């Protein structure tokens, strides 16, 4: 049965080895489900979050994961809308990774809110002024889009292709793909942005607050830009990771380099925008709210080094590497630059979520610290495990990398 499901022309590990690979991840998933269940059953008192640190590890990682998952929409956008045909090599993998990231994030959010059974109120009684409403609407819709985009990949399975009706359906879906990619791009654009807006609009938190353009604060645009910039980098990383683990060539190096180049161009734009934004914030926004910016870096572990790391080390440096044809042609350079870029976006999301809350607003409040406990870490690891499981199974039975067959030959 297993053999019949595997795509013709590629080699996969034996069923036993595959199961051996799955077992630890399944165990991790079970552990995480237990941790999450504890939080759902007893309340969020099970976590280390508190009234001063109302958002913790989960929100930080949700933001990071969604930013990294942006590879899905951006690759789709490049492939379907901008007709960058060489990206066909990774588009399926991108969709699966996007689906895994988004569905995982939504599951964690359901544990993170205190009353998940009331979550639908946001759709029934929405507050249109809230960035979170925008996030909820867009993420839910986009998750739907991703699910639909996932279907044709599923239908490419060897066994399912035997059903003629599915073939027709897949073909119909393919024609629809351009529309879906456009819708997905639109939705992603907005929720990546509104995730940034989430913090940028917080007038009461001068550390996060940014002046706006039209409806949105500058973080709205910075988040979109950074997600687009890092999405391809993350694709490079995951693809090379899968190649390492499976010990197979899956994608032509040119494709990887091309993704690195796109990442590099966008990253340099982002770094410029971020620099301008930071300067405006330091010199105008923050002081005008009564908070000289240097105060945010005066106490606790978060010094100005964090700004340096965010903009130069994890921004400018990978951008320059990726923009250099010679450097990105060499795999170690490409991988390192992509990793740096990914670290940069994670650090940025960390600063926006965690540091924002750690710096006190009232003058007599101390700098607060927070460490996630095992329930929080466990719940998140469950999502990682879930992601690995879905991706592994998809990789085994679905043609995630169309070039694999050619490269195997």
Partner 1 sequence: MKLARRDLLKLAGGAALGTFFTPAPWKALDDVSIWTQNWSWMPVPPRGEATTRFTTCTLCPAGCPVRARCIGKQPVSLAGVGGGLCPAGLAGHHLPHYPGRVRGASHRGTRCTMDAAVAAVREVAKGGRVAILDQRPGRTASLVYRRWLAGQEGGLYLTPPAREDATLVALGGGLAFNLDEARTVVSFGAPLMEGWGSMARVLESRPKFHLVQIEARQSRTASMADTWLPAKPGTEAALALGLAHLLGSQDAGRFTPEYVERITGVPAAQVRQVARRMKDAGPAVVIGGGDPAGPFNREEEQAIAGLNLLAGAMGRTIVPRAEVPVPAGFDKLAAETALDDVPDGGIRLLIIDEAASGNPVPWSYLKRKLAPGAMVAAAACSLDGYASHADYVLPAPVYMETAQDVPAACDSPAATFSMAPGLLAPPEETIEPADFVLRVAGEGGTLAELLKARVEAIHKTRRGSVVTYADGTATPLAEMASADDLAKAFKAGARWTDAGTSSEAPGIAFAAVDAAAIERRAASAQFPLALVPFGWRGAAGPVSPIFSKLYQESRVRSSEGEARLNPATAREYGILDGGLMVVETSCGSQAMTACLDEGVMPGVIEAAIEPGTGVLEICDVEDWCGWRTAPARMRRA
Partner 2 sequence: MAAKTKARYGMSIDVDRCTGCGACMVACAVENNIPPAPEGATDRKGITWIRVYKIDNGLPFPQNRSAWVPVLCQQCGEHTPCVSVCPQNAVEVDKTTGVVGQIPERCLGCRYCMAACPYQARYFNWWDPVWPAGMEKTLNPTVSPRMRGVVEKCNFCHGRLHEARAKAAAAGRREIDPADYVPACVEACPAQAITFGDLDDRNSQVARESREGSAFHLLERLHTGPKITYRSGRPWVHDALEIKVANNKKEPVRG
Least distance to partner 1, CB of residue 364, Å: 13
Binding mask 282-321 toward partner 2 (x if CB under 8 A, else -) reads ------xxx-x-----------------------------
Least distance to partner 1, CB of residue 1, Å: 18
Least distance to partner 2, CB of residue 19, Å: 38
145 binds partner 2 (CB under 8 A): no
Binding mask 118-157 toward partner 1 (x if CB under 8 A, else -) reads x-xx------------------------------------
CA distance 192 to 203: 20
* CB-based burial label for 205 (10 Å; 0-12, 13-18, 19+): middle
The angle subtended at Cα 25 by Cα 21 and Cα 26, nearest 5°, is 105
Least distance to partner 1, CB of residue 167, Å: 17
Q: CB-wise, 14 or 51, nearer to partner 2? A: 51
CB 10 within 8 A of CB 404: yes
Q: At what angle do helices 253-280 and 88-112 cross, to 10 degrees?
A: 50
Instruction: Name residues contacting partner 2, limited to 4-43 (CB under 8 A).
Output: 42-43
**Interface pick for partner 2 out of 3, 326, 363, 409 (rule CB under 8 A):** 363
Q: How many CB atoms lie within 10 A of CB 165?
A: 7
The angle subtended at Cα 194 by Cα 191 and Cα 200, nearest 5°, is 160
Question: Any residues with CB less than 8 A from the CB of 334 and at least 6 apart, and which?
Answer: 236, 256, 257, 260, 321, 322, 327, 328
Q: CB-wise, 131 or 317, nearer to partner 2? A: 131
Q: CB-wise, 23 or 117, nearer to partner 1? A: 117
Please identify, among the stretches 72-80, 112-120, 250-258, 308-316, the one whose residues bind partner 2 according to the rule CB under 8 A: 112-120
CB 101 within 8 A of CB 203: no
127 binds partner 2 (CB under 8 A): yes
159 binds partner 1 (CB under 8 A): no
CA distance 76 to 387: 20
Least distance to partner 1, CB of residue 133, Å: 18
CA distance 370 to 57: 9
Q: Name the helix (H) or strand (E) containing 212.
A: strand 212-213
Please identify, among the stretches 120-128, 156-164, 340-348, 377-385, the one whose residues bind partner 2 according to the rule CB under 8 A: 120-128
Place of tokens 């053999």: 3
Q: CB-wise, 118 or 159, nearer to partner 1? A: 118
**Interface pick for partner 2 out of 131, 153, 195, 268 (rule CB under 8 A):** 131
Q: Name the helix (H) or strand (E) containing 99.
A: helix 88-112
The two structure tokens encoding residue 231: 């999405």
52 binds partner 1 (CB under 8 A): no
**Interface pick for partner 2 out of 21, 33, 130, 212 (rule CB under 8 A):** 130
The two structure tokens encoding residue 65: 């994961």
CA distance 306 to 309: 5
**What residues make contact with partner 1 under the rule CB under 8 A?**
115, 117-118, 120-121
**What residues make contact with partner 2 under the rule CB under 8 A?**
42-45, 49-55, 112-116, 118-119, 121-122, 124-127, 129-133, 136, 198, 201-206, 288-290, 292, 356-357, 361-365, 368
């Amino acid at each position: 049965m297993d053999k019949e499901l595997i795509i013709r022309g590629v080699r996969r590990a034996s069923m036993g080895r595959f199961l051996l690979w799955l077992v630890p991840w399944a165990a991790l998933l079970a552990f995480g489900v237990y941790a999450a269940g504890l939080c759902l059953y007893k309340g969020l008192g099970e976590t280390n979050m508190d009234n001063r640190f109302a958002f913790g590890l989960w929100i930080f990682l949700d933001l990071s994961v969604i930013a990294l998952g942006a590879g899905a929409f951006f690759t789709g956008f490049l492939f379907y809308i901008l007709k960058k045909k060489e990206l066909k090599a990774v588009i399926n993998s991108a969709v699966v990774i996007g689906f895994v990231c988004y569905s995982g994030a939504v599951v964690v959010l359901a544990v993170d809110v205190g009353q998940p059974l009331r979550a639908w109120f946001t759709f029934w009684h929405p507050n249109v002024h809230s960035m979170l409403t925008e996030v909820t609407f867009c993420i839910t819709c986009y998750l739907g889009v991703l699910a639909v985009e996932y279907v044709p990949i599923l239908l490419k399975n060897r066994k399912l292709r035997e059903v003629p009706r599915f073939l027709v359906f897949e073909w119909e879906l393919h024609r629809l793909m351009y529309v879906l990619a456009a819708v997905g791009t639109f939705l992603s654009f907005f929720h990546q942005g509104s995730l940034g807006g989430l913090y940028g609009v917080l007038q009461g938190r001068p550390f996060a607050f940014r002046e706006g353009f039209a409806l949105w604060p500058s973080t709205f645009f910075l988040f979109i830009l950074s997600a687009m910039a890092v999405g391809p980098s993350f694709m490079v990383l995951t693809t090379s990771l899968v190649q390492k683990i499976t010990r197979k060539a899956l994608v032509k190096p040119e494709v990887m380099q091309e993704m690195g180049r796109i990442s590099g161009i966008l990253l340099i734009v982002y770094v410029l925008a971020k620099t301008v934004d930071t300067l405006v914030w330091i010199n105008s926004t923050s002081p005008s709210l009564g908070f000289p910016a240097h105060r945010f870096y005066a106490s606790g572990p978060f010094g100005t080094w964090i700004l340096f790391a965010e903009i130069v080390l994890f921004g400018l440096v990978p951008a320059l590497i990726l923009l250099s044809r010679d450097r990105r042609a060499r795999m170690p350079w490409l991988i390192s630059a992509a990793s740096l870029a990914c670290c940069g976006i994670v650090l940025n999301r960390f600063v926006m979520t965690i540091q924002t809350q750690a710096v006190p607003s009232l003058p007599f409040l101390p700098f607060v610290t927070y460490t996630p406990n095992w329930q929080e870490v466990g719940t998140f690891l469950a999502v990682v495990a879930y992601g690995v499981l879905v991706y592994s199974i998809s990789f085994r039975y679905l043609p995630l990398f169309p070039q694999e067959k050619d490269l195997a030959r």
